[in-house]
Amino acid sequence: MKNYSKYIGLLLCLTGGVVLMINKSVDAELPLLVGLFILFISKERHEDERSIQVKASSALMALILGYALKLIISNLYIHQIISFDLISINFFLIIVFGFANLIRFFRLYIFMG
């Protein structure tokens, strides 16, 4: 049986993005967050030490970039340059898992071919 976790993650990301834009209720971001998480933890076709190391280092880079972006957005909000602030942990996790998936994808498929 094939591993369908990537397809489930992509489907949740797409529907979660639509739900987040249309629905303004509390926890509308959860399908997107779960989809990004499933995409990040899904297995590669050829899982070896290199792909595991790329996944771990991508998570570390994404955490650093996500926290830097959170600090920048909070500073811009304090100085009233922008009108929103990232106060929810779910939005921070969406940023981190989004960065982690992008970094991992570029490192595995674009730069390392």
Taking residues 66-82, report their average pLDDT.
Answer: 94
| pLDDT bucket at 51, cuts 50 / 70 / 90 | confident
- Residue 112 pLDDT exceeds 80: no
Phi, psi values for residue 80, rounded to 5°: 55, 40
pLDDT at 1: 39
Answer yes or no: are the C-beta atoms of 85 and 73 closer than 8 Å. Answer: yes
pLDDT at 34: 96
pTM: 0.87
Q: How many residues does the chain have?
A: 113
